[in-house]
Structure 1
Amino acid sequence: MRFGIFIPQGWRFDLVDIDPAAHWSTMRSLAVRADAGPWESLWVYDHFHTTPVPSDEATHEAWTLMSAFAASTSRIRLGQMCTCMGYRNPAYLAKVAATVDHVSAGRVEMGIGGGWYEHEWRAYGYGFPEVPDRLRALREGVEILSQAWRTGSATLDGAYFQADGAIVRPLPIQEGGIPIWIAGAGEKVTLRIAAEYASYTNFNGGVEGFRHKSEVLRGHTDRLGRDFAEITRSANFNTVVGETEADVRERLRAIEARVAPYTGDATAGLMEKLTTGEGLVGTVEQVTERLAAMREVGLGYAIHYFPESAYDLSGVELFEQRVIPALSA
């Protein structure tokens, strides 16, 4: 199993109580630490407003961070899970990502999806198209990205995006272009796009859900004549790990106490991502067992968000020292 780590950027109220002037130094130090550790990749989210409620707390922009991390690290791969296709013209996005690939000496991953956070869509003037339209736009955008990185130019007269000989030079350093991760588990459209274009998918759903979505993906690759094994399946995990169950409970209490002054009535919604089955929360043994079960149904890459990491690295250290070695062999 391969491992990635999210760097806190404010989106989940994970930089509160840190002076905004110190946010970049905090993020950079965590990125440099990950670069020196066992992680294959670091990740950020592509969002503009905090969740589960919009607020005045800072949320730092994903592609600006990609460029900054590219210049601040030397080994670790750099991704976003995931870039929202509706937020940037895809020909422009192809150019941005190719430039960052050069800054990073060929370490960029492109996580891409249709987007979902209605409040920020409307606030930034993008409207909020219906799901079918967002997914059709995703398909067109991925075609433009793929063309641009393979050939150095892109042409498409689409319903949502148009490009007419858009020149994207230099090409990315990575041969064949930047790896594309298609995020989402929609069975008819999203996984069909993934089957055609993706090097990686990103979906979860627990053991049975992951197994089912994998079989749907396999059906699409079979119909396209593509080798299913070419696609690495990944999932994201909201992760809190402790030595004992009492330690885990204390960590959850500390997270809730830190965010509650900022999230108010929405605190329960934020904590639900950690206190229900959606969260990867437990002792070292429990977390390792759950990930091992996911590996058995085809999970090849696990990307972890640690809500404590800007304040307390002890949980990350436990994961690095005991969970990763147990699952990397």
Structure 2
Amino acid sequence: MRFGLFVPQGWRMDLVGIPPQQQWGAMLDVARHADAEEGWTSVWVYDHMHTVPEPSEEACHEAWTLMAALAATTGRVRLGQMCTCMSYREPTYLAKVAATVDVISGGRVDMGIGAGWYEHEWRAYGYGFPGAGDRLARLREGVDVFRQMWTTGTATLAGEHYQVDGAMCFPRPLQGSTEGFGGSPRNGIPVWVAGGGERKTLRIAAEYADATNFDGSPEGFEHKSAVLAEHCAAVGRDPGEIVRSANYNVVIGRDAGEVEQRLADVSERYRRAGLSEEAARGQAESLRTQPLVGTPEQVAETLQGLERLGMTYFPEAAFDTSGIELFESEVIPALGG
């Protein structure tokens, strides 16, 4: 099993209390820590403009600007987003941006891509909020554009949502002549199709994805994996070519008391960001019910069970370096990472 972590970019209000002039340094410290520790294979960002669980005036840094900065300041780990919203940028432009960042990074970019969901953010930025069918159709057409531009250097598409006429992408990504992330001979930047929609999203994943990211509960992960395999059979693809992953909000402590203290710290951070007492407490309580909350032994046991179900990649959400260090010293070795 391979492990990645998210830099604290603010979307989950994880930069509260850090002055703006120090926020990039806080993000870079986490990324460079991962770059220096062999147990981590990647660092990740979110593609959002407004914070959750509700929009606020707290910092939320833009994903692809961070991708370029991380490409220039790290040297080993892969760089991804979980996940880029297709409709926030034209796919031709996004393919060009990703190719440029891939060159800057020396060929270390993973393209996480999805249909998008955060309605408040969509409307606030003037994107409207089309129905799920239209958002998924844009996802399918956009991924088609990516593949064309990255593998041939040009793209043409007379789609329902995107009309492309010979858009060029030079230089192509450095990964354009290497094996795909999942071991398949698929040229270009590895594509992670995120989301668990069983009728359309996982079908798109079966057709185009090098990797997926969906439900991280043991039951949900097993079910989504089975649905993905059915779609792969329908399109004539080996499901073993596709990496299956999930991401979690990890709350880890050496004992139950330390876990409780970390949950209390989460609640306090949300209060400082302006959430009501009830809402801040609710955020901590929602974390309590997630799969990877507990001691290193408990977290490792859960991940070992998921590994037996076929999970091979796991990005961890990073909120403080002590939790990261505990995870890498006691959990990663237990999983053979």
Q: TM-score, normalised by structure 2?
A: 0.94
In structure 2, what is the equivalent of residue 104 of structure 1?
105
- What is the SS of the residue equivalent to 1:299? coil
Return the offset for 1:272. 4.1
Mapped partners of 1:135, 1:249: distance in 2: 40
Percent identity over the alignment is 58
Which digits, 9 at most, give the CA deviation of each residue in 1:248-307, with x for residues without a partner?
00111112112212142332443244122x351100110001111111111110110033
Per-residue displacement from partner, 1:220-272 (whole Å, max 9, x unpaired)?
Answer: 11111111100010000100111101110011111211221214233244324
Q: Partner of 2:63 in structure 1?
A: 62
Question: Shift of residue 4 of structure 1?
Answer: 0.6
**Aligned equivalents of 1:269, 1:133: Cα separation in 2:** 33
Deviation at 1:219, TM superposition (A): 0.6
- Residues in 2 aligned to 1:106 and 1:205: alpha-carbon distance in whole angstroms: 28
- Matched residue of 2:166: which SS? strand
CA contact (8 A) 1:200 1:234 kept: yes
Aligned equivalent of 1:287: 299
Which of 303, 306, 323 is matched with 2:331 structurally? 323
Q: Could you list the structure 1 runs, at least 4 aligned residues long, displaced by more than 3 angstroms after superposition.
A: none
Would you say 1:225 and 2:236 are equivalent positions?
yes
Report SS of the residue matched to 2:275.
Answer: helix
Aligned partner of 2:118 in structure 1 is: 117
Give the structure 1 partner of residue 180 of structure 2: none
Structure 2 partner of 1:275: 288
Residues 217 and 126 from structure 1, CA distance in 2 versus in 1: closer, same or farther, beyond 3 angstroms? same
Q: Cα distance 1:186–1:44, how it changes in 2: closer, same or farther (>3 A)?
A: same
Relative distance call for 1:272 and 1:166 in structure 2 (3 A) is farther
Q: Is the 8 A contact 1:238 1:273 kept in 2?
A: no
CA distance in 2, matches of 1:53, 1:105: 37
Superposition pairs for residues 30-45 of structure 1, below 5 Å?
30-37=30-37, 38-45=39-46
Partner Cα separation in structure 1 for residue 237 and residue 119 of structure 2: 35
Alignment map for 1:62-141 (pairs within 5 Å):
62-141=63-142
Q: How does 1:174-323 map to 2 (within 5 A)?
A: 174=175, 175=177, 176-265=187-276, 266-276=279-289, 278-307=290-319, 309=320, 313-323=321-331
Contact 1:11 1:50 in 2 (8 A): yes
**Letter of the aligned partner of 1:306 in structure 2?**
A
Contact 2:216/2:247 (8 A) holds in 1: no
AA in 2 matched with 1:150: T
What is the CA–CA distance in structure 1 between the aligned matches of 2:334 and 2:93, rounded to whole Å? 42
CA contact (8 A) 2:156 2:164 kept: yes
Unaligned runs of 5+ in 1: none
Please state how far the C-alpha of 1:58 moved relative to its aligned partner.
0.9
Deviations 1:113-168 (A, max 9, x none): 00000111001000001111111110011110111101101111111111110001
Identify the residue that residue 21 of structure 1 maps to in structure 2: 21
**CA–CA distance in structure 1, aligned partners of residues 44 and 291 of structure 2:** 18
Query: Is the Cα contact below 8 Å between 1:273 and 1:279 reproduced in 2?
Result: no
Partners of 1:262 and 1:26 lie apart in 2 by 18
The alignment of Structure 1 onto Structure 2 pairs a total of residues equal to 324
DSSP 3-state at the match of 1:40: strand
